Chains A and B, each alone.
Chain A
Amino acid sequence: MSAARLPLRRRLREYGLDSVTLLIIPAALFVLALFIYPFLYGLVLSFHPKAGGWLANYTKFFADPFLYDTIRITLVIAVPVTVLNVVLSVPVALRVRLLRNQRLLTTILVIPITLGTVMVAEGLLTYLGPRGWLNRTLLEFGLVDSPVRLVHNYWGVMLSLVITGFPFTFLLTLSYVTGIDPALEQAGAVLGARPRERFRRILLPLLAPGLAITLALAFVQAFTVFPSAILLGAPAGPTRVISIVAYQAAFEQYDYSMASAIAMLMAAVQLLIITLLLAARTLVFRGPVSTGKG
């Protein structure tokens, strides 16, 4: 027997496999059972329509403007909300980074996440409604002649998604911003770059990879909007988002096959946008955001 031959356990460790690696099994099983299997099941189901050939669900979807238009409607809500949330997060995170009471502010900003979409929607209904505080104040000061319509339309959904989505994008952005060595900005300042130029030439390129991830995650959140589209929007018209159509197919028409097809289309749109985002990220900069000792 060759003396160089190591025991199996030692050789596996060379590849990073040891008993600790086994701890990944429950998580892997979980993902398999609750994500991969349902996803594949749904994919297969979507090709077994109630009537017609195997592509009947998809042809039906793209033949009916009442169905395919939901993709456009959802994008018109999700894209601006995502961009707005991230664009707002960056300056706020840059400012909060310098604050001493960071924790307090972070807590305040996280509250909307813990409240949940439904509670925020209910609150907004009363607050922004025709007889809510906002409109009463505006009318009182004569800023408007009749109540501004902010609920049961596009703006209601938009606002609620900003309120529930902003803390999420903010926290992610904050973690990326605080990962950048403050000395880099100081170096830029000493070299004559003013704040705007420092942001453009130093911070933004270093933040870009993180912002791409944040945009992707925020977009997925906004694209799957459901409760606020129903509660605060006009689910029959301008905020008839794609998840509502999927819900109707499944639980009003009991056509699980069609519902699965719609879910697959949702996934396809999300995948497409995320791929585009991550591809754009590599155009900017991919690498460490600090240069430690070599």
Chain B
Amino acid sequence: MAVASRDFRELRLEQISRDFGQFHALRDVSLTVKRGEFVALLGPSGCGKSTALNCIAGLLQVTGGAIYLDDQRLDELGPEDRGFGMVFQNYALFPHMSVRRNVGFGLVTQRRPKPEITRRVDEALALVRLETQADKLPGQLSGGQQQRVAIARAIVVAPPLVLMDEPLSNLDAKLRLEMRAEIRRIHTMLGCSTIYVTHDQEEALSLADRILVMIDGQTRQIGTPEELYARPASADVAEFMGYRNLFSSATEAADGGIAVSIGGARLIGTPVGAVAARATVAIRPDDLRLTGDGPIAATVEIAEYHGRDFYAVARMADGTELYFRSDTRIASGDAVRLDAAPARVLVYAA
């Protein structure tokens, strides 16, 4: 196949840092991306994930560390010489060029012969299913189509690595799901590596082979989606991964784990790492289940209907707020009893 990625083994980031004056946007981030791997950089806005991507692309100089593609050192090269593909958040399509010329830009830069450019642009456009729009200007396309042009433009040069900076954030919900599947399909077809920046944990979980969670410019955890979903390494990663119920609690040793107290109710939890007398307890809304005799007694305040189930906010007698999910109909004002399995109550050092 002509649209394919250049052969390489791995991309290595070795403790890369980036300072803006006194501000450390990126501190000692290390990561190895194997060929064909899809890695998501996940973190809240302002955490440095876009800075990391721009450093890899060469649009920002690193102030420390090194970047290698196999044995070739990249961090001293300009973006022109790295040969990566990049999809920008706002797509950054050239407004004065037709879709065809946008996609062919990188090939023209490489001084490829005209017939080859035409052939490869056609293939890239077919891959993103935009054959019929080839002669339009970007301004005449919808958001999703512009997104596809941006992807075609990035992959047509057969880059070893494709960098994507929150590519779906400007699309509406339905299109976002569609493009998500599309990005994964293209990634698999090309066999290239992809580094994908997002603040949406759901996007990262569904797309990536591995996720790097970044908070305050530092790596907090690297792992597979399953690992991150089930066992975040720290309380702030847990919070970011959708553990909406976070409590500060005293702890005591108990059978089968560690006992914690939530609004006066006693729960058995699983410690993650070393835990002292005070700890932070994290529970997903999905893991807090309605049971007739659960230890937690609360009153429902808000119940949101989500089609198949309900998402609810409840308050305990002492004012502790709880988020939980229910399969059965509940309404505000209902008195409920809740419980959580010990394996799903994660206890972190405070």
Alpha-carbon distance A181/B91, docked complex (angstroms)? 11
**Residue A7 at the chain B interface, CB threshold 8 Å:** no
Which of A189, A205, A206, A294 touches B80 (beta carbons < 8 Å)?
A: A189
Q: Interface size on A (CB < 8 Å)? A: 26
Instruction: Let me know if B105 and A287 touch, CB within 8 A.
Output: no
Interface string of B75-104 (1 = CB under 8 A from A): 000111111111010111111100000000
The smallest beta-carbon distance between A285 and chain B, in angstroms, is 4
Does the CB pair B141–A287 fall under 8 Å? no
Complex: chain B residue closest to A292, CB-CB: B90
Partner of A181, one of B81, B92, B153: B92
Q: Which residues on the B side are within 8 Å of A287 (C-beta)?
A: 95-96, 137, 139
> How far apart sit A192 and B83, CA to CA, in the bound complex (Å)?
7
B52-76 toward A: CB 8 Å interface, digit per residue (1/0)?
0000011100000000000000000
- Say yes or no: A190 contacts B59, CB within 8 Å: yes
A197 within 8 A of B: yes
Using known A-B contacts A184-B94, A187-B92, A206-B96, determine if residue A291 contacts B146 with beta carbons closer than 8 Å: yes
- Select which of B92, B141, B153 is within 8 A of A186 by beta carbon: B92
Distance, CA A77 to CA B318, complexed state (A): 85
Is there a chain A Cβ closer than 8 Å to B22's Cβ? no
Residue A183 lies at the interface, judged by CB distance under 8 Å to chain B: yes
Instruction: Report the Cα distance A31→B248, complex, angstroms.
Output: 72
Question: Is B109 on the interface with A (CB-CB < 8 A)?
Answer: yes
A201 to B82, CA, bound (A): 20
Q: Could you say which residues of chain A place their CB within 8 Å of the CB of B170?
A: 293
Q: Is the CB of B90 within 8 A of A205?
A: no
- A193: B residues at CB distance < 8 A: 80, 105, 109
Contact of B96 among A205, A293, A294 (CB under 8 A): A205
A289 to B59, CA, bound (A): 22
A26 interface contact, C-beta 8 A: no
Bound: A293/B139 CA distance, A: 8
Tell whether, in the assembled complex, residue B139 and residue A288 are in contact, meaning their CB atoms are under 8 Å apart: yes
Instruction: Tell me if A191 is interfacial: C-beta within 8 Å of chain B.
Output: yes
Residues from chain A with a CB closer than 8 A to the CB of B58 are: 189-190
Task: Tell me how far the C-beta of B107 lies from the nearest C-beta in chain A, rounded to whole angstroms.
Answer: 9
Quick check: B57 and A190 within 8 Å, CB to CB?
A: yes
Asked whether B145 is an interface residue with its Cβ less than 8 Å from the other chain, the reply is yes
Within 8 A of A (CB), among B1-22: none
- State A57–B66 Cα separation when bound (angstroms): 77
B95-136: which have CB < 8 Å to A?
95-96, 105-106, 108-110
Contact of B106 among A184, A191, A293 (CB under 8 A): A191
In the bound complex, CA of A198 to CA of B76 (Å): 21
Q: Which residues from chain A contact B153 at a C-beta distance below 8 Å?
A: 187, 191
* Closest B residue to A204 using CB positions: B96
**Identity of the chain A residue whose Cβ is nearest the Cβ of B106 in the assembled complex:** A191
Given contacts A206-B96, A291-B91, A294-B145, contact A190 B84 (CB under 8 A): yes
Contact call A288/B95, Cβ cutoff below 8 A: yes
Q: Which of A239-294 contact B (CB under 8 A)?
A: 285, 287-294
New contact pairs (9) apart from A183-B88, A287-B96, CB-CB < 8 Å:
A181-B92, A186-B86, A189-B78, A189-B79, A190-B58, A288-B95, A289-B96, A294-B139, A294-B142
The 6 tightest CB contacts between A and B, nearest first, are A191-B106, A183-B92, A187-B92, A285-B96, A192-B109, A291-B138
Residues of B within 8 A of A (CB): 57-59, 78-86, 88, 90-96, 105-106, 108-110, 137-139, 141-143, 145-146, 153, 157, 170
